[in-house]
Copies of this chain bind each other. A is one copy, B any other.
Amino acid sequence: MHRRLVGGVGELRETDVSKRAFNFCAGPAALPEAVLQRAQAELLDWNGKGLSVMEMSHRSDDYVAIAEKAEQDLRDLLAIPSNYKVLFLQGGASQQFAEIALNLLPEDGTADYIDTGIWSKKSIEEARRYGNVNVAASAKPYDYFAIPGQNEWQLTKDAAYVHYASNETIGGLQFDWIPETGDVPLVVDMSSDILSRELDVSKFGLIYAGAQKNIGPSGLVVVIVREDLLGRARSSTPTMLNYKVAADNGSMYNTPATFSWYLSGLVFEWLKEQGGVAAMEQRNRAKKELLYGAIDASSLYSNPIAVNARSWMNVPFRLADERLDKAFLAGADARGLLNLKGHRSVGGMRASIYNAVGLDGVQALVAYMAEFEKEHA
C-alpha cells in the first residue's frame, strides 16, 4: 500500500495507488504506472526548474533536450536507420490517412491498399478522395477472420505505395509477416502494435502510429519516414500536413504537443528499462498465449480469428450465450478489470493487452474468466 497526500483545486485528498485497476481499453489505453508516477512527481516542477513541462517553451534548451531524448530512445528501441526521419505530429492516424495520400500519391498515380478491417477501410476511403486506389487484397472473402496471403494480392506495377494496417484494433486481426513490395514503398498503420514486438524498419517506406495505444497519450502521432519520400507533397497540401516541412523543422514548425511528446519519452525510457522491444515481445507472447489458450480451452468463450492472424494486442472474444455479457462485464468491473466491452460493431468482449498491461493483468482476467465460466456452467 502506497499513500500520499496531494493537493487539488481547493481541497486535499489522498491518492491510493494500490487502487489502480487493470485497464483493457483499446485506446486511449493503459500507461505504465511508473511513467505516470514520474510524470506526477514532475508535474509542477521539472528537474528543479520551477515549472511544469507543460509550461516550457518548445524552443527552450530544456524542452528540446526532452524532445531529442525521446526521439533517440525511440530510434534505439526500433533500431531506426539513419536515413529515416522520426516525426512527432498531431491529428492521429485518421489525419495520416489524408496526409499519406497528399504527400505520396501523385494526382495521376495509383496506390495499392490492403483491406483487413475497419481501420484499413477508413484509410482507403480517405485516399480515394485524392487519387486512384487499388484494393490489392481484401479479407472480406474470409469474413475478416483471416488475412489473404501475398500470393493472392493483385499489386499494381509502379504503384506510388502499398498501404496496410499491421493490426486491426477492432477486428483483432494482425499480420505476423511483412509484405514484400520490392521497390514500391511499403506504408503501414502500426497504431496498435508498434513497439510490441521486434520490427525491421528498413522494410518500410513509412510507418505511422497514433500514440494512444503503445506510445503515450492521445493527440500525438509518430511518423517514421524514409528520407527519399520527403518533398513529394502535392502543391495543395496544407503546410502543417507536409512531411518535409515537419522534417525540416524537427517537428516544430509550430508548437508541437509538448506534454504528449514528453510523456511518450517517459514510455520509451520505461521500455528500455524493461529490456526493450525484444523483452516486450517475449512478455506479449506469454500474455497472448495465456489468453488465447484460456479462450480455446473453454466452452463458454470463443475467438473466430485464424490462428496465424490473431492479434497479440486486441483479443476479441464472445460468450456462447450473449445474455451473459452483462453479468460478465459487471463482475469484471467489480474486480477492477475495466473496459472489456467489445466494439459496438463486433459485440462481445475485447481485451486490449498493450505493453502497459502486464502478465499479472492477463492472469487476473483469465482467473476471472474461469471463475465466471464455472459459475455459469
Binding site for B on A (CB under 8 A): 2, 4-10, 13, 15-17, 19-21, 23, 25-31, 33-45, 48-52, 54-58, 60, 90-95, 97-99, 102, 126, 129-130, 210, 212, 217-220, 235-236, 238-241, 253-260, 263, 266, 269-270, 273, 336, 338-339
Contacts and interface: CB of A to CB of B under 8 A. Distances in A.
Given A15-B42, A25-B57, 7 more contacts: A9-B269, A15-B41, A54-B217, A60-B339, A90-B95, A90-B257, A95-B241
Given A6-B41, A7-B41, A34-B10, A50 B21 contact: yes
Contacts of A255: 27-28, 92, 210, 212, 218-219
A219 B259 contact: yes
Contacts of A126: 238-239
B40 A43 contact: yes
Contacts of A35: 9
Contacts of A259: 217-219, 259-260
A191 B260 CA distance: 20
Contacts of A43: 36, 39-40, 43
Query: 5 smallest A-B Cβ distances: which pairs?
Result: A219-B257, A21-B50, A98-B238, A94-B254, A6-B41
14 contacts: A7-B41, A9-B37, A9-B38, A20-B45, A26-B57, A28-B57, A28-B58, A31-B52, A31-B54, A60-B339, A92-B254, A98-B240, A129-B235, A212-B258
Contact of A50 (B2, B8, B39, B336): B336
Given A33-B44, A44-B17, A219 B90 contact: yes
B28 A16 contact: no
